[in-house]
Structure 1
Amino acid sequence: MPAPEPITHDRIYRTMKADILGGHFTSGAKLTATKIAGRYEASITPVREAIYRLVGEGLVEMTVEGFHVKLSSRDMLLDILDLSQKLLVVCLQRWSGSPAMRVDDQPLAGEPTAEEAVQLLEKILITLFVASNNKAILAWGEQANERLRWIRTYQCRGSRRALLECVTIHNLAQQHDRVRLRRQLLAHHRRCARTIVEHFFIE
């Protein structure tokens, strides 16, 4: 059995970042080193180092009142969505649906969880970004997925329709149905935009 990964500041940083982007912390939530250390069963020092690293990335804000989760602004998220939609339309035109860019072709056993549905969706999006044959677009697409993951997860947790939409996009990609896939991707981005406007960053 392999030895457990040591609890370093890098490990805490990666875990905290995944939790923030995954929606496990709400925007504005206060972060205290002692509570975070208890949550991740770590000591205070690596937790503080991880928090300062997240401050540098703009995911955590440092004020006189302490550290708070600071997710992307509404306008920034809407810009990411808009560019994602435009790039995916271009990538879809270049996508051959060839075996060299296979998506997960294992049959789904029952309805996925919200996290599994988002993973299915992201596999398709990355497949399409790969089809651009442009490393910069692929790198941007991977970062966009990270930024939008918590919004998509939030939707799938609260709406079966949103969850099934991810499954539909996955299935249409397997069928190489370019026309319906494009339509479904556009609908997905519109729904994400509505969620951002209606539920987040109202101020």
Structure 2
Amino acid sequence: MERVYLDLKARILAGTYPPGTRLEAAQLAKSLASSATPVRDALYRLSGERIIESWHQEGFRQPLLSEADLVDLYWWTGALLLLALKGRTPRSDLPGGLVDLATHPSYPEGIESLFRTIAIGSSNGELRASIINCVERSMTIRTLEARVDGVASDALTSMADDYRFGRWSALRSKITRFHRRRASHAGRVAAEIRRRSEPLDNIRRI
């Protein structure tokens, strides 16, 4: 059951299924080499995590996020990250790099790595879980963010450098600006999401 959950979650977060795609246990079971029961359990679990949607009492689907949905998600993620960084101050005994933060060739992987690292650094378990959930729910839209905003990758690089060297005040300011910019581009991202999806009255079954 755990294997099915992890495999299906990885596919969903990787954007395997276009937005709006209906996810049916019987069909997914074939590609996951499983029976329908553990797939259905995984779908309920992922719905509880808000990674997929329970749609009109008719099953599950890949989220089809609107501009308002994206704005809410961006502001909430930014607020949680600021809480995780609250109170952090530079250490005078470590003037060099503080953290060996992994580098990634792509913008989506880099954002995930930085925000997960910030989450893990929090001593509050609820805060860690909430940030990681936001990170996972945002993974399918990161490529679209970079497509509509040419400076998104530069903003990531700047935030990652601040984290490496413990420039916490600068990082907090940049996280605020980053999510404010994400919200301002939410309409364009939502339009890209719509272009990747089929009409709602003709949702493809998976």
TM-score band, normalised by the shorter chain?
Answer: 0.5 to 0.7
d(CA) in 2 for partners of 1:135, 1:113: 28
Superposition pairs for residues 1-203 of structure 1, below 5 Å?
Answer: 8=1, 10-58=2-50, 59-62=52-55, 67-70=60-63, 74-97=67-90, 103-105=99-101, 108=103, 112-126=105-119, 130=122, 133-156=123-146, 161-200=151-190
How far off is 1:91 after superposition?
4.1
Structure 1 counterpart of 2:203 = none
TM-score relative to the length of structure 2: 0.67
- The 8 Å contact of residues 92 and 178 in structure 1, kept in 2 or not, is answered as yes
d(CA) in 1 for partners of 2:129, 2:46: 20
- SS of equivalent to 1:20: helix
Code of the aligned partner of 1:149:
M
d(CA) in 2 for partners of 1:39, 1:162: 35
How far off is 1:156 after superposition?
4.1
TM-score relative to the length of structure 1: 0.67
Distance 1:173 1:61, change over 3 A: same
- SS of equivalent to 2:153: helix
d(CA) in 2 for partners of 1:138, 1:78: 21
Distance 1:125 1:191, change over 3 A: farther
d(CA) in 1 for partners of 2:48, 2:133: 16
Distance 1:115 1:175, change over 3 A: same
Aligned-pair Cα RMSD in Å? 3.6
How far off is 1:189 after superposition?
0.7
How far off is 1:34 after superposition?
4.7
Residue deviations 1:67-99 (CA, integer Å, cap 9, x gap): 422356654543342233234335434113558
Q: How many positions carry a matched residue from both structures?
A: 187
Higher RCO (CA < 8 A, seq sep 6+)? 2
- The 8 Å contact of residues 31 and 67 in structure 1, kept in 2 or not, is answered as yes
Q: % of aligned pairs identical?
A: 28
d(CA) in 2 for partners of 1:40, 1:157: 31
Distance 1:47 1:127, change over 3 A: closer
Distance 1:61 1:86, change over 3 A: closer
- The 8 Å contact of residues 4 and 32 in structure 2, kept in 1 or not, is answered as yes
- SS of equivalent to 2:105: coil
- The 8 Å contact of residues 120 and 170 in structure 1, kept in 2 or not, is answered as no
d(CA) in 2 for partners of 1:30, 1:63: 11
Gaps of 5+ in 2: 195-199, 201-206
d(CA) in 2 for partners of 1:18, 1:68: 15
- SS of equivalent to 2:151: helix
